[in-house]
Amino acid sequence: MNTPPDTKPGIPGPGKWIAAFLAFVLVLAGVGAWFFATESSRIQQDKYEDLGAIAKLKTKWISDWRNRFFNGIGRISGNPFFAQSVAEFARNPDDPELRARLKDWLGYQIKWTGDEGMALYAPDGRLMLSAGTQEECPELLRVLGEAIWSNGAVLSRLYKGLSGNVFIIAACPVNDREGIPVAVLAIFGSANKDLYPLVEEWPSRSKTAETLLVERDGNSALFLNRLHFKPAAKMEFRIPLTETDAPAVQAVLGTGGKFLGRDYRGVEVIGDLRGVPGSPWFMVTKMDTAEAYAGLHEMMEILIFVSVSLSFAVAAAMAAIHRGSQVRFLRELDAERAASEENLRRANAELEGRVAKRTAQVVASNRELESFAYSVSHDLRAPLRAIEGFASILEEEYGPKFDGEGRRLLGIVRSSTRKMDHLIHGILDLSRIVRAEIVPSDVDMTALARAAWEEVQTPKEAGRFDFRLSPLPPTRGDALLLRQVWTNLLSNAVKYTAPREVRCIEVGAIREKENLTCYFVKDTGVGFDPTYASKLFGLFQRLHKDTDFEGVGIGLANVQRIVQRHGGTVRAEGSPGAGAAFFFTLPKNPENHEQ
Amino acid sequence: MSNDQIVELLLVEDNPHDAELALRALNRHNLANSIVHVTDGAEALDFLYARNAHAGRNKKNQPKVILLDLKLPRVDGLEVLRTMKGDPALRPIPVVVLTTSREESDLLTSYHLGVNSYIVKPVDFPQFVEAIRQLGFYWLLINESPKP
């Protein structure tokens, strides 16, 4: 079965699938990238917000802490009883009762506020009285001077005492009734105890999150608190302001808000920068980008993992589907082929059956013909022989007893039986030709025609004929049957030419078509009436009287039969008294002799 | 027919007219003094094996030649030929098939079975006589058969 190739889809090639897969991967990558970008900016935003919130809280705490000093020192130094006591003490510094009372009171205050210590200094900086811890340092003198000069509460910078503890000092002048400062009150706050926990505390678990308190110190940013990642002690590490990449530098230069840069370790960090209100301090709240975006990285990893898994799954699915479609296609093909084969097989079987039937018929009819021929040759001829035999004996042994008429009648009996014998011979010949199996071989037609000529001319006729044989193209066919063609045609020619004065028999061939050779036998014999040319090749058909020419009308019928079985045709040309020509064609490369 | 009679020719022919014509042809030329004519293959074999109707016949006196028709009742000519040529005792006896059949198959089978000659009876009586004369002359006078 022929199916036009375009009506039947072929096996979908893997190319389509690969293209589809690549498209899928591209879309997936695009969606992934978009999702990642959105998510990362969201996470970044979240992180900044987290950091900002923490920073805001912390700066508020720190600011509050500082304000507590302001308020505390202002409240104490502004207390009229305290101021009066201090003024009294300033006038009578050696009054032990007064000193003890003031010291107790300050001690009580310290106990209550939790500060390190409190001290009263004379306006010239001399220590008048102290409670708790107090440490002398350059910063102390500066703060005391500033307090008197500004006549108000002042907070010192953080400073590290000899003990290594970091302090902040709040100072405020204590005035007498006239408003003349009689002393300066200083409160020593402990950064270690109060400030640093505020700074260093982190509301959530984090490895890299860190809050830095910095202040500008000349041309550098000074880190006030202890650094997480550096062994340096508090207030000893500083970064030049030229290193603008550092968040601490940016912070002390006044930059606020979100920040992305490298910290003192050189590690990329995100951070929040803001100043501590009411202070020279700046706060850097930062976290390593790696940690901040760890979630993002994790998400990206998950995203990539999911994408790759999805891609593999899709690839596997596509491969499975492809294979499935291939298998389905092949199965369809198989089914189709099986159907075709089945059809073909059925057709073949049918054909075989028909051929077998026809063969059986042919065999049967051949067998019938054979048995017919057998009985003709055997059964019909036996009585014929008896008639002829006994008529002959009658003639020989009783001939003298017959008169002329009797002998003539006896002669008719005998000649009739002989003629009938010839007819039977003819029928047998024809049936033999019909039944004969053609055994093809390469046949030299020239030699065959010559041999036939030698056969048909009797010795007494030898030399009476002008026989012209042109070289004939060879052919392929049954040599015995083809020889019979020549024999019949030549014997005919001899028979009808013999009575003529000019006795010329010509044998030749012309190439009629590409694959067709036409052989001919021409004679100068008696010829025939072309009106009856078609009757020439019929069985038992004769155009001449028996008395003129003997014959039973079998020869040409045999010729036609043989030529037809070789795939050729016969024809005859002639006119009365002008000779006759018999033509027969033979295909050069006969594919099939049988018709 | 005495048991020791010499038989020169055995004619196996069912058709009496053919048989008569053959005998006349043979007689005309004085070819056979002692001819036995049987009308079917079974009888022919009985004669050759000296059994049944021919029991007691001296088997040493086998014919010089057998003229065998092919189309015979009961056992046909080819069967007789097959039996004879398959039997070492009978194989040396020359057999001439004398038949009306010009069938190629008969001819081929006969020769394959070992026939010594195959003659188609001509319808024309003079030709028939001539044929009989020649074969009788040849097989009875010219040809030498081994002595039994």
Per-residue model confidence as pLDDT tens digits over A481-531: 888 899 889 988 888 888 888 888 899 988 877 778 899 999 988 888 887
DSSP A13: P
Q: What is the ipTM of this complex?
A: 0.74
CATH number of B13-96+126-142: 3.40.50.2300
Q: What is the mean pLDDT of residues A543-570?
A: 77
Considering A194, A228, A246, which residue would you say is the last residue of a domain? A194
Give residue A444's domain range.
438-587
CA–CA separation, A143 vs A158, rounded Å? 11
Domain annotation covers residue A509? yes
Per-residue model confidence as pLDDT tens digits over A200-220: 877 777 788 888 888 888 888
Q: Which CATH number is A189's domain given?
A: 3.30.450.20
Instruction: Inform me whether the pLDDT recorded for B12 exceeds 90.
Output: yes
pLDDT of residue A478: 87
* Residue whose C-alpha is closest to residue B8's, from B27, B34, B31: B34
What are the chain A neighbours of B100 within 8 Å (beta carbons)? 377-378, 381-382, 385
End-to-end CA gap in chain A:
29
How much helix, strand and coil, in percent to the nearest 5, is found in chain A?
55, 20, 25
**Residue in B24, B102, B128 closest to A377 by CB:** B102
Q: What is the mean pLDDT of chain A?
A: 81
Cβ atoms A294, A302 nearer than 8 A: no
pLDDT of residue A11: 57
Residue A548 pLDDT grade (very low, low, confident, very high; cuts 50, 70, 90): low
Q: Which CATH number is A282's domain given?
A: 3.30.450
Number of H helices, E strands in chain A: 13, 19
Task: Tell me whether residues B21 and A378 touch, CB distance under 8 A.
Answer: no
What distances in angstroms separate CA A261 from CA A40, A251, B97, one per listed residue? 17, 12, 132
Handedness of CA A260, A263, A269, A271 (dihedral sign): negative
Residue A547 pLDDT grade (very low, low, confident, very high; cuts 50, 70, 90): low
pTM, rounded to two decimals: 0.43
Per-residue model confidence as pLDDT tens digits over B49-73: 988 888 888 888 888 899 999 888 8
Q: Does B103 contact A at CB distance below 8 Å?
A: yes
Element (H, E) at A372: helix A294-375
Looking at per-residue confidence, does A321 or A389 come out higher? A389
Q: Structurally, how many domains does chain A consist of?
A: 3
The 3-state DSSP class for residue A271 equals strand
Cβ atoms A81, A101 nearer than 8 A: no
Q: Do A153 and A189 fall into the same domain?
A: yes
Where residue B133 falls (left for φ over 0; alpha for ψ -120 to 50; beta otherwise) is: alpha
Q: What does the H/E/C string look like for A122-149? A: CCCCCEEEEEECCCCCHHHHHHHHHHHH
Considering A243, A266, A294, which residue would you say is the last residue of a domain? A294
Q: Do A567 and A468 fall into the same domain?
A: yes
Per-residue model confidence as pLDDT tens digits over A269-280: 888 888 888 888
Q: Do A470 and A576 fall into the same domain?
A: yes
Task: Tell me whether residues A381 and B100 touch, CB distance under 8 A.
Answer: yes
Domain annotation covers residue A547? yes
Domain limits, chain B? 13-96+126-142
State which amino acid sits at residue A398: Y
* Residue whose C-alpha is closest to residue A110's, from A186, A57, A179, A197: A186
Task: Tell me whether residues B21 and A432 touch, CB distance under 8 A.
Answer: no
* Angle, CA of A305, A310 and A315, to the nearest 5°: 130
Task: Tell me whether residues B121 and A385 touch, CB distance under 8 A.
Answer: yes
Domain annotation covers residue A428? no
Q: Which residues are CB-contacts of A8 (< 8 A; sequence separation ≥ 6)?
A: none
B87–chain A nearest CA distance, Å? 29
* Residue whose C-alpha is closest to residue A508's, from A473, A474, A470, A475: A470
Q: Do A443 and A581 fall into the same domain?
A: yes
Q: Does B24 contact A at CB distance below 8 Å?
A: yes
Q: Do A512 and A568 fall into the same domain?
A: yes
Cβ atoms A198, A58 nearer than 8 A: yes
What are the chain B neighbours of A386 within 8 Å (beta carbons)? 15, 17-18, 21
**B122 to chain A: nearest residue by CA?**
A385
What are the chain A neighbours of B104 within 8 Å (beta carbons)? 432
Task: Tell me whether residues B100 and A377 touch, CB distance under 8 A.
Answer: yes
B128–chain A nearest CA distance, Å? 8
State which amino acid sits at residue A440: P
Cβ atoms A273, A247 nearer than 8 A: yes
* Residue whose C-alpha is closest to residue A445's, from A472, A484, A469: A472
Q: Which residues are CB-contacts of A486 (< 8 A; sequence separation ≥ 6)?
A: A448, A449, A451, A452, A453, A521
Preferred mutation among A376, A379, A385, A427 to probe B, highest tally of B CBs within 10 A = A385
pLDDT of residue B112: 93
A389–chain B nearest CA distance, Å? 5
Per-residue model confidence as pLDDT tens digits over A41-82: 888 888 888 888 888 888 888 888 888 888 888 888 888 888
What distances in angstroms separate CA A420 from CA A373, A382, A406, A551, one per listed residue? 15, 12, 21, 11
Q: Does A318 contact B at CB distance below 8 Å?
A: no
Q: Does A378 contact B at CB distance below 8 Å?
A: yes
How many residues comprise chain A?
595
Domain annotation covers residue A21? no
A594–chain B nearest CA distance, Å? 22
Q: What is the mean pLDDT of residues B1-15?
A: 76
CA–CA separation, A487 vs A370, rounded Å? 24
Cβ atoms A562, A554 nearer than 8 A: no
**Residue in A377, A386, A393 closest to B18 by CB:** A386
Q: Which residues are CB-contacts of A284 (< 8 A; sequence separation ≥ 6)?
A: A210, A211, A212, A213, A214, A247, A248, A251, A259, A271, A272, A273
Say which residue the tokens 């000093």 belong to: A69
Q: Does A545 contact B at CB distance below 8 Å?
A: no
Q: Do A185 and A208 fall into the same domain?
A: no
Q: Does B60 contact A at CB distance below 8 Å?
A: no
Q: Do A150 and A226 fall into the same domain?
A: no
Preferred mutation among B20, B23, B24, B123 to probe A, highest tally of A CBs within 10 A = B123
> Which of A24-38, A49-63, B115-129 comes out lowest in average pLDDT?
A24-38
Q: What is the mean pLDDT of residues A566-594?
A: 79
Q: Does A398 contact B at CB distance below 8 Å?
A: no
A517–chain B nearest CA distance, Å? 32
Which chain A residues in 419-458 lie under 8 Å from chain B, judged by CB atoms?
A: 421, 428, 432
Task: Tell me whether residues B103 and A392 touch, CB distance under 8 A.
Answer: no
What distances in angstroms separate CA A204 from CA A54, A150, A164, A201, one per listed residue? 10, 42, 29, 9
pLDDT of residue A249: 85
What distances in angstroms separate CA A192 from CA A182, A200, A276, one per listed residue? 31, 11, 18
Where residue A132 falls (left for φ over 0; alpha for ψ -120 to 50; beta otherwise) is: left
Q: Does A300 contact B at CB distance below 8 Å?
A: no
Q: Do A239 and A174 fall into the same domain?
A: no
**DSSP sequence for chain B:** --TT----EEEE-S-HHHHHHHHHHHHHTT--SSEEEESSHHHHHHHHHT-GGGTT--TT---SEEEE-SS-SSS-HHHHHHHHHTSTTTTTS-EEEEES---HHHHHHHHHHT-SEEEEPPSSHHHHHHHHHHHHIIIIIIPPPPP-
B38–chain A nearest CA distance, Å? 18
* Residue whose C-alpha is closest to residue A473's, from A588, A559, A563: A588
Burial A429-443 (b: 16+ CB within 10 A, else e): bbbbbeebebeeeeb
Domain annotation covers residue A103? yes
Q: What is the CA radius of gyration of chain B?
A: 14
Which chain B residues in 110-129 lie under 8 Å from chain A, judged by CB atoms?
A: 121-126, 128
Q: Which residues pair with A519 in a beta bridge?
A: A509, A584
A392–chain B nearest CA distance, Å? 6
Say which residue the tokens 């007498």 belong to: A176
**A431 to chain B: nearest residue by CA?**
B103
Task: Tell me whether residues B123 and A428 touch, CB distance under 8 A.
Answer: no
Task: Tell me whether residues A377 and B103 touch, CB distance under 8 A.
Answer: yes
Q: Which residues are CB-contacts of B122 (< 8 A; sequence separation ≥ 6)?
A: A385, B128, B131
What are the chain A neighbours of B76 within 8 Å (beta carbons)? none
Q: What is the mean pLDDT of residues A531-546?
A: 71
Domain annotation covers residue A355? no
> Which of A141-155, A282-296, A355-369, B43-57 comes out lowest in average pLDDT?
A355-369
Strand-pair category, B65-68 with B9-12 = parallel
**Residue in B21, B99, B103 closest to A389 by CB:** B21
Domain annotation covers residue A530? yes
Domain annotation covers residue A560? yes
What are the chain A neighbours of B101 within 8 Å (beta carbons)? 374, 377-378
Residue B94 pLDDT grade (very low, low, confident, very high; cuts 50, 70, 90): very high
pLDDT of residue A593: 46
Q: Does B18 contact A at CB distance below 8 Å?
A: yes
pLDDT of residue A592: 46
Instruction: Inform me whether the pLDDT recorded for B22 exceeds 90.
Output: no
Q: What is the CA radius of gyration of chain A?
A: 71
Q: Does A88 contact B at CB distance below 8 Å?
A: no
Element (H, E) at A354: helix A294-375
**A415 to chain B: nearest residue by CA?**
B124
Which chain B residues in 70-99 lie under 8 Å from chain A, judged by CB atoms?
A: 71, 99
Tokens describing residue A328:
């389905």
Considering A194, A228, A244, which residue would you say is the last residue of a domain? A194
Instruction: Inform me whether the pLDDT recorded for A99 exceeds 80.
Output: yes
Q: Does A372 contact B at CB distance below 8 Å?
A: no
Burial class (CB in 10 A: 0-12, 13-18, 19+), B57: buried
Tokens describing residue B101:
């059949």
Q: What does the H/E/C string look like for A182-205? A: EEEEEEEEEHHHHHHHHHHCCCCC
State which amino acid sits at residue B127: Q
The 3-state DSSP class for residue A50 equals helix
Task: Tell me whether residues B21 and A385 touch, CB distance under 8 A.
Answer: yes
Residue B3 pLDDT grade (very low, low, confident, very high; cuts 50, 70, 90): low
Instruction: Inform me whether the pLDDT recorded for B1 exceeds 50.
Output: no
Q: What number of C-beta contacts closer than 8 Å exist between A and B? A: 55
* Sequence-ordered alpha helix ranges (H) in A151-264: 196-200, 247-252
Q: Do A164 and A249 fall into the same domain?
A: no
Q: What does the H/E/C string look like for A416-457? A: HHHHHHHHHHHHHHHHHHHHCCCCEEEECHHHHHHHHHHHHC
Preferred mutation among A369, A376, A377 to probe B, highest tally of B CBs within 10 A = A377
Q: Do A236 and A102 fall into the same domain?
A: no
Tokens describing residue A235:
């207030």
B109–chain A nearest CA distance, Å? 15
